[in-house]
Amino acid sequence: RYDYFPQLAKFVLRMASAIHEAVIRRFERLVIEQLTDIQRGNDQVAAGFARDVHAAGSSKIERDGSSHYPDGSFAHKDATELGVILEVSHSQQHQDLPFLANDYILGSNGLTQAVIGIDLTYRGKEARVIIWRPNKTK
């Protein structure tokens, strides 16, 4: 996987470790479990929406000269953009997360509803979760 930030003239090659991949897959499973619970719930509007959301994996995103491969993503069947994007980083790479979130959200014109960053401490047992959302003004 890689990211290219044309505004910074920065190319980032990302090598996924076993823990990196395990965190991504576990997070995807948790989201799918939550979607399944919503589908079984009493709110029919929410259940219908949840039925139409699917894991979109690590599809390449290209916009305005930038290229990114998110670690994971989710999309609604009727959406033109990924709704939720997941990025996992180790502490030494966490400085790239805000740039990625900015590119994903602004590049989608705010149609990406959330970028979730999971920052794993290097050789540690802790993680930090950061969520970026579009700031919508009237």
Which domains can be identified in the chain, with CATH numbers?
A: 2-132 (3.90.1570.10)
pLDDT digits (tens, 9 = 90+) for 41-94: 999 999 999 999 999 988 888 887 778 889 999 999 999 999 999 998 875 566
The pLDDT score that the predictor gives to residue 114 is 96
Residues near 112 by beta carbon (within 8 Å), at least 6 away in sequence: 81, 82, 83, 84, 85, 104, 105, 134
CA 37, 43, 44, 45: dihedral to nearest 10 degrees? Answer: -100
Q: Which residues face 36 on adjacent strands? A: none
Residue 9: pLDDT above 90? no
pTM for this prediction:
0.82
Q: What strands, in cross-sheet order, belong to the sheet with 72-76? A: 53-55, 72-76, 84-90, 114-120, 127-132
The pLDDT score that the predictor gives to residue 100 is 86
CA distance 96 to 86: 13
